[in-house]
Structures are given as structure tokens and as C-alpha cells.
Structure 1
Amino acid sequence: MAAGEDPLTGGWGRWENVLWYLDRHGPISRKELMSHRTRRPGMGPQRWDGRHFELHYGVFPSSEDMTALYLLLILTTGLEPESALELSVDCLKNPTRGYVEIEYVKRRRHGREANRMRLRDGGLGTPGGLIRLALRLTRRARAHAWNDSKTALWIYWHSNDVRIGGGVRHFRPRDIAVAFCERHDLRDEDGERLTVHLRRLRKTYKVEFYRITKGQLPLLARGHSKEVAASHYADIPALRPLHEAAVADGLSHALQEVVQLRVIPPQREAGLKQDTSAAAKELDVAPGEAKKLLDGEMDLWLSSCRDFFDSPFAATGQACPVPFWSCLDCSNAVITSRKLPAVLAYLDHLEDQRQAMPAGAFDLAHGRTRERILTQVLPAFPEPVLAEARAIAEATRPLENLPPLLGGIGSRQ
């Protein structure tokens, strides 16, 4: 285009001259272009035949160009399709430090209300960058647009009536999206031709935003009440796995908060043996039971038990029914240095299982137990005590000597 000149003097036989003319005078019809060919020598009939669209699209954006940017803007910002359709050329406000405000009109039952949304601004991957790209693509077209379309963001060359227009009255992205998907052979997860539903674009954005923020409803409710955000955007089948995972995590965290293991380091254990009343208070048992606990008379495999017949996993008076590793999830458990060899041996076994099992299956079966050993049990003991316990575990191999009646690992080897 920069190398072109007025085709009335330089001839219509050069592409750059035609582009020069389109830039300064606007679109021309195929009939008009071909009439110049017949009136002016040097323009063969084969040269421009069929190139009418290509020439215009070299200067002005097409409806598909604008539709692609329109859809991407909604999927990037979560704007309502109606609001995005009505954006104007001056919709960007207050750019500062990588952010910009987008001014839009939101339709409400009581009227039209102006709103602003603060979003990222920069490259083409940002909302501000997408709008600036649309403004650059339509800069030349805007000089030749219909009067009622000059201020609209979405304008393009209408090949049927050879005019530049768009905006709310003429831009129909719903229909154009069909041709766009066909041209680029876009498919859904079932391999069928992709169908674009404008009313679902905002929900698609909200779902992805909800996943990224890990279910933060206050963030999802921007522009809505929490009730509307929850019922319209969060309560959908696609997000059910996220909600179920959140409930499971919440229960797991609650269990970790409730179950605080009584881990007694050696120095504290020695002090409690000298003070039975303090031991009874700290262990929440009778003084006689406290002495038995500290002397090892109430030991199980991974821990001592404050009351084997008052388990949180069974009715009072019944023997504890859960496997031995559940001691680490039990409020009855008391762990002293005597139990460290068994704990370390069991941790080694868990690490072997962790290598052999899928990550998800291991986390479900043993993840919480392993985490509790690493974060609550071992840090309570000094390194010399841990080294001694590790040596005992390697020498005595407690896993192999576990009583079979306890359902331990030794019974399965």
C-alpha cells in the first residue's frame, strides 16, 4: 500500500495502486473494479478476476476476524455477550501499570447501567491487548464506516453491499461463528462440529476461573450477588468433582485439626514418670493408667493406647476394630521413644508402597498417615534419638515380627 499511487494516473494494473485506492476512498464493488479494467489498458481479465475479496481483506477486516476477537474477548474477560457487543472505540479507560479499565453497558431489568471492569493490559494475551488489536485492525475501515457505526468497536467490510459497518445493529457473531468453526474445522470433545452458544461463553469463563481460584465464591461473584454466582455458575455438573474434592479436603483438614497425637519426647517422658499427677493431666487418664502408659503396659504396635476399649471407631466397651496404622489417626494414641523403631519401619514400608502405587491411590490409602509421621511424630524427637531408633528398627526388623492377629504386614509375607 505504501508503494502504491492513484490508479487513475498510475494504472489499475498494479495491486498496490488498488490497495492505495481502497485505503483512501473505501470499498468498491466488483462491477466497478471490472469496469476500470475495461476502461484502462494494462489490466488483463485474468489478473483481477476472483481477487475482489482478497484485495478488500488486505485493507479491511472481515466479519470472521471480528467474530474471532469478540469470542476470545468474552472467554478472556467473562463479559456478557450483549455488553461485549456494545463496546465502543473509547471503552479503554485509565491504563496504569499493566492494567486498564474496560467501560461497558450492562443490561438490567430496570434499565441500562454503565460499568467498568479492571483487567490486565499488555500483549495480545491480555484483554486490553485484544481490544487494542481490534482498534488497529479497524483503523482504516473506520474512516469509511457508516455514521452509526463509526464509534462501534466491531466493524468490518460487508461484501454484499460494499460498505463498512457493524456494531449492535449489524454485527451478528452468532451466525458468523458457524462459518468460522467450519472454516477452521473446530470439533468438540466428541469429534462433532463445534457449535458456539453465545450464552454459554460467560459460563465457560466462570467455570475456568472457578477452577483456577479453587472454588473462591467471593471472586466468582464479581458483578453478581453470591446467590446468583452460586446458582448460575458454580452449581453445574462440570464443577461437581471440584466441589467433592473440596469437601474431602475440608474433612481431611478437620480430621488433622481434631486428631492431635500425644507425642512425648524423652526428656518430657522422664519428667512425667516422676510426676504421676502431671502425667495423668497431660494424658487425660487416671493416675494409675498414666503409670501403665508410661511403663509400656498399654503398648500397641505403633503407639500406646489410652483405652483400647473406648475407641472413637467403635462403641464404648468394644475392642478397637481398626487396623494398626489407624493408631496415627486416633486421639487415644500416645507415642514415646519406645515406639519410634516401629514407626520408622512402617515409614520405610510406606515409602516402598509409594513407589509401587499410583500417586492418587497411595494418597487415598496412606497419604495422611505418612504426612502425620513426617510432620507430627518425627520432628518431636532429637536426631540422636531418631538415629538410635533407626538402628533398632534395622536390627530387629519389627515389620517381620508383627503379630499376625493384628493383621500386620508380617502376616502377609
Structure 2
Amino acid sequence: MPAELIRDPLGTVVSLPGHEPFSLDLSDLPNLLLAADLVEGLAGSVHPNGPLTKPSSVRSFESSLRRMVRDFTKDGFTGSAADLTRAALISYWLRSHYLVEYRTRQMLRALETGRPVLTEPVRQMVFGVNFTRPAPHRPLAAYQPAEWQRLVAACRDDIRLHWGRHQEMTALAEAGRDPAHAGWSDQNGAWLMARLGPASAEAVASHVGLTRSAFEKRYGGIRHLRSALFPSNLQAAPYLLLMGAWTGIVPDGLAGIGLGDIQWSGRQAMLLNYTKGRTAEESLVLSPRASALLHQWLQHSALLRRHAPSELRDRVWIATNSQVRICPTYAGDWVLRRWVANHGLSGENGEPLSIDRRRLRTTFIAQRGQRQWSLRATIDPNHSPQVEGDHYLEPATPAQRAVVEEIISDAQADLLRRATAPAVVDEATTAAALPDEVQRLGLGGEALAELMSGQRDVFTAACSDLLAGLHGPKGKPCPARPWVCLLCPLAVFAPRHLPNLLRLKGYFARQFRAMPREQFAVVFAPYAHRLSSQILPRFPEPAVTAAQGEVRDRDDELPLRAEELTQGGAGR
């Protein structure tokens, strides 16, 4: 059973997936008849029978349950749920917060579903629509660039500090001996702590045959040893913050990761599976820096994991709490506020920086949108472009609808232009193919003569209309880079362009060797494919071979900008 009702004393024991069982004691409430019915409804609302999947959610329902019982008792109500009236519930819900009404409705619905006790008028109202509505919610704002930089820098500095201390103390422990025989020192103390785990001062003092007070008076404390060997919640906080900042994974998704959810997908990248509460299981290929950070945390917590109980050993995020016990890592408000205070972090307003881990995802998405070329208008920075397009993008006015339709029309026309076969002319095919190309391009006799004589040549091809505005302002010379002509429907390729086409082919080969494959696929692959598969094969092999002799395979043969030069072709 996910939740078991206990009537004497009144309470419940809750078992949620991935969490330790816990109990709630409600025997102190004034009206135990109503409380017992609501506790039964609370038990029926726990996953998988209801929506409650987290201990925090169950405790929030407990709080609303207590409030309802006490408020009804103040109003003179002494009966059970079967004695509730529509007037009493309406009066209570209208003066209550939205969440109080939602939670108490849910408990009454679960009670009625499992054991019908409500009168028919009350039952119809309980399963009806809420009287109150949630307050308007403003989307979480991304952190300001300066705040973000300070937060990331503080995380990296803190991680570097604690990781260095951990490595030093681990090496010290390997060279130590049992302090019960060899005497107490930091080296021998580290040796003992590595074998005992995050032990208390009493346990360490007992091992060396002293009381705690005598041990601390003679040798001092062991907190510095324990802190260096076993990460605490404060030491785990920067790891969690930086993982959220570098991956965009929601806080509950990070907290629930197990060792079995991590798979290596290369030398520097990990495939991480996690659960997002509102969707389901998701997976993400981590960047090299996020993979390195997660790998370092696994090393940092490896010694602690050896001493963890079996139910925690497979969790990625474990730490020691203030009671020196091993527990799931907790990064709640008080931990983050203390961490911020320790590092003196401040926001743009000069106040201590307020850290909301959900805003890490918001900032991650906002920065990702800035790194990639995008013209999308931000509806909510917490949504990805796909989510906004699927659920929120709807033209509201005729003018907006016209703009969207024009964008769609332009995109479709661009796809059709790219699908058009390139115009390649030579002595063998000109007579048969040129009339069709002239009609497609809409050229007159004078323009055709200029095109064939080379007067309209650009670097890669002959352009039938340099002022058409396909890649820039209409009426202005085309600003496109040389390789863009390979996909342009206005380009005409003749044998005299073969040397430059082969120079571009060599340039693509150098870029393929220098760039990551994913980046090359986005930037140059469409042009390289068109050149190799549709343009060069249309020319006779002797002409291609003859043109190859004019190519030196160097960057200075092409009109490139400084940032477009390749290391392999820089021989000048």
C-alpha cells in the first residue's frame, strides 16, 4: 500500500517511490471524526491512486487537512464528513486560499471514491468546479548576465576548493595508520575516518580510548577531516547549481538521477536519463564540461557512497547532513541562502542573490536561444521554441496572421528553390538545355549574352540577377558568401568556373577536417553535397582534370574573411 491509514492513534504511513517511508501523526486534532475521514482521503490521494508523488506534497496536504479540521471546529462543527453541508463547505472555500480548496476537495473526492459517505448535494459540489482561482503567475525571469557570471564563478571556485581538499585528504588517509596504536594525527585520523565513514566525534574518541571531551581537549575536533573526506549538503550545492546551469535539467529531474541513468556516449560525453515531473522520462547527451563535472562529483562522493545504506548507494546525489548522517542531497532554501552568504553573492539590487533552481533552466534556455540564430519572439523564457510553437503560437490579429503566412510562404519558396537542379551549361548540353533555362530565369537576349560571355560572373558562377535580393536587400548587390551560390537558383555554372568550384571543394574538405561533424553538417554540408553530387558530375571529366591543375588548395585562392580561414590552407 502506498499509504496506510492508522486509526489509533490517528495517522498514516506513506511510502513513495524513491523516498524513505514516513509517518504522519494527526491524533492531536480536535475533531477526530472529521480528521479520520480526511486522513483516509489523504491516503487515497497518494501515488499511484492519486496525484501525490513527493513527501513535500503530502505534507502540504497534511497542513491543509489540519487547517480545515481546526477551522470547522471553531465554527462549531463536531461531526464527520457525512455530516458536511453545502453551506458549510461553500463558506469555508470562499474564504480560503486556492490551494486550500484544491487540497481539501481532492481529499474529499478520494474519500468518496473509496468509501462513499457524502450526501448527494455535497458529493455533486465536491466533484464540481473550484470556487477560487489561482493567482496569475508571472514567468520566472532569467538571471542578469552579471548575476549569472558571479553565480557560475562562485560555483566553480567552491568546487575547485573542496575537490582539492578532498584529494589531499584522501591521499593523506592512504598513508595513515590506526590511531589507536600509532597515535593521533591528521594523517591517522583520516585513515580512521575513511574506514568508519562520517562518524561522530564520540565514535572516534571511543576508538582511541578517550571520552569526547578529553579527545577534543587534547587533539581538537575532527570536523575538518570529515568535511574534506565526505561532502556535505553545502559542498554538494555548487555541483547541483552548476549542473542545472550547464544542462537546463529541472531540479526534481536532477535530484532523482541514479547511477543506472548514466551511460558514456563517447570519450567526453555522457547520456543522462532523468524524469521531468510534467512530462515523463527524458534523456540528454551532456556537453563535455557537464560530463566532466558529473564525473568529478561521482569521484568526490565515491568514499561516502561506500558507507551509504543500500537504499542510497545507487543515488547520484548523496551527502552528509547536520546530524552527520548520510542522506539524499538537500538543496533547499536555507542551504542555498547559507551558501550565498558564505560567498557574499549579491544581485543587481545589492541584496543577497536569491537562488531559485528553476531559474537556472530559464537562464539556460535564454542563453541557448542567444547562442543560436533565431528570430523568435519570447512568449515565456521557460519554454523551448518547440513548446511555444506547439502550444502558444497563434496569430491574434489579421496583420499578425498575414506576417506568419508570408514567413511560411517564403520558407516554402526557399525549399522549392533549393530543390531545383543547378543550371550547368557547356558545349555539349547548351543547345538542348539552354532554352529551358532562359525561360526559367526570365532572361532577354542582351542579358543572355552578358551571362554567357562572363560579364555577370561572380566568384563561383554567373549570376542572372545580382540585384534580385534573394540573400540581401532588393536592389543592392548580393552580399552572399561564395558557397551560397551553389544553392542559389539564379546561378549558372559554366566550364570557366571549374577552377573556383574545385577550390571550394578543397575548402570544404579542410573545414570538414577542422570542424566538429555536427557543426559542419549545419554550416557547409548542403553546399558541399550540391557541389559534389549535382554540379561537378555534370562537367566532362577531361575538363575537371584540366581545371584541377590550376588549383593549389590554399585559402588565398578564395575571397575569405579572416574568421573563415582554415589552418590547413594557410600556406602563404
TM-score, normalization by structure 2: 0.36
TM-score, normalization by structure 1: 0.48
Which structure exhibits the higher relative contact order, with contacts defined as CA atoms closer than 8 Å and separated by 6 or more residues? 1
